[in-house]
Chain A
């Protein structure tokens, strides 16, 4: 890359070139592919850098807004501890921790079977909701694909499919229930509650687990007042003998 090329480009673009020289330069651009490419590259870089300079204040302000929003909507992972050194001590610590876990597990298994509703709800989510049964209705292709995606832990795709089915067929309460369940297992509790509220409000369904699943979600979310509200909902499920009433009854006895 020669300096005089750039000087020539700048003179040409700023209109500082004499008419004869301008004609020679333009002819050169037509004949010399290398010169043409270089001129094009110069223009691109000049335009992009000029834009960057011109909007740098705006970009900095936007970056600051995005960083604040990132902090709210994305949670960084805990830092990973490096444990390469002192392997022997590490092994002893691991063995001790394993022993403690074993003792605690045995203690809770034999003496603490009567866990509180929140633990039972946790167990319910892990045992009952991490796999959805494929229905036999071949006409509901997207729903089946959603269930398959869910069972494959492809939750983004699953919820997209469930929501699309529900949007197209607002009478399909299964799609709404599954969308809520997906949000529940991915800890999007507020969205899950919206789905289950809507599901619970549906009348005339053969079975409706909306209220029960809303209680499960509240127990999982565990914000102040959630447990009390969940207890009321579980009681309502028992009284109405609605879907989930057996579990609700058992959990309320604990």
Chain B
């Protein structure tokens, strides 16, 4: 069975047909076209120092200016820039991260969101961030991806903060069980029975969830 695209042209409509498998492949790549700046995402995932240096050369100045012009310092800019790159890394490492707009605009958007969050915490009044220029080519998906990056990083920060508040035994069992080791191996390492390890893990996760839910930030982080 064939599936067809009909492409309108000023001469006459063009019909291109493919077998089902190829049709959906073409449909996927045409609807979600990867931008050539995806190389920066790959550089973050692969810790490629050469491409990361190029990234700094190309984009750090603009972020610096944006932050300094909006009540920030160069130290703030450095923190925001690094934090934004780590947010992108954290989102991308889960797979399924396709950049469909220029990296510069995407990074700017994330840094701007992060900086606005910080300014609102500092209760700064005067904010002059204007970002109409250069945002025309950011699609809705990219805006959502940028928001996801920021939220994911903030969720991770909250989880790390609450995990640090827990007792050592909970920290140990949770860290081991989330490191990818099977539960029977975790039990062996902790010198306890498998049943006890599972029970203890459940208790600790329940405690962590309670702590996270009690945080004032919880509701804004879109779990």
Query: Residues of A with Cβ closer than 8 Å to B?
Result: 1-7, 10, 38, 40-42, 44-46, 48-56, 58-59, 61-63, 65-67, 69-70, 72-77, 153-157, 160-161, 186, 188
B5-13, B15-23, B57-65 - the one binding chain A: B57-65
Q: Given contacts A45-B208, A58-B47, A77-B73, is CB(A52)–CB(B156) below 8 Å?
A: yes
Q: Which of B62, B69, B74, B206 contacts A75 (CB 8 A)?
A: B74
**Chain A nearest CB, measured from B61 CB (Å):** 7
Q: Are B174 and A49 in contact (CB under 8 A)?
A: yes
A1 to B198, CA, bound (A): 17
Q: Are B62 and A45 in contact (CB under 8 A)?
A: no
Q: Are B82 and A1 in contact (CB under 8 A)?
A: no
Is there a chain A Cβ closer than 8 Å to B32's Cβ? Answer: no
Q: Are B180 and A1 in contact (CB under 8 A)?
A: no
Q: Which of A1, A51, A70 contacts B210 (CB 8 A)?
A: A1
Q: Which secondary structure dominates chain A's binding surface?
A: helix
Q: Which of B64, B133, B206, B223 contacts A6 (CB 8 A)?
A: B206
Closest B residue by C-beta to A63:
B86
Residues of A contacting B155 in the complex (Cβ-Cβ under 8 angstroms): 44, 48
Q: Are B64 and A74 in contact (CB under 8 A)?
A: yes
Q: Are B56 and A73 in contact (CB under 8 A)?
A: yes
Q: Are B206 and A62 in contact (CB under 8 A)?
A: no
A53 to B90, CA, bound (A): 11
B52-83 vs A, Cβ < 8 Å mask (1 yes, 0 no): 11001100111011100100011101100110
**Chain A nearest CB, measured from B150 CB (Å):** 14
A61 to B89, CA, bound (A): 12
Q: Which of A1, A76, A161, A188 contacts B61 (CB 8 A)?
A: A188
Q: Are A77 and B178 in contact (CB under 8 A)?
A: no
Is there a chain A Cβ closer than 8 Å to B175's Cβ? Answer: yes
Q: Are A45 and B212 in contact (CB under 8 A)?
A: yes
Q: Which of A42, A50, A153 contacts B209 (CB 8 A)?
A: A42
Q: Are A3 and B223 in contact (CB under 8 A)?
A: no
A160 to B200, CA, bound (A): 56
Residues of A contacting B45 in the complex (Cβ-Cβ under 8 angstroms): 58
A74 to B60, CA, bound (A): 8
Q: Are A76 and B74 in contact (CB under 8 A)?
A: yes
A74 to B78, CA, bound (A): 6
Q: Which of B94, B134, B159 contacts A160 (CB 8 A)?
A: B134
Q: Are A74 and B81 in contact (CB under 8 A)?
A: yes
A70 to B84, CA, bound (A): 13
B181-210 vs A, Cβ < 8 Å mask (1 yes, 0 no): 000000000000000001101110111111
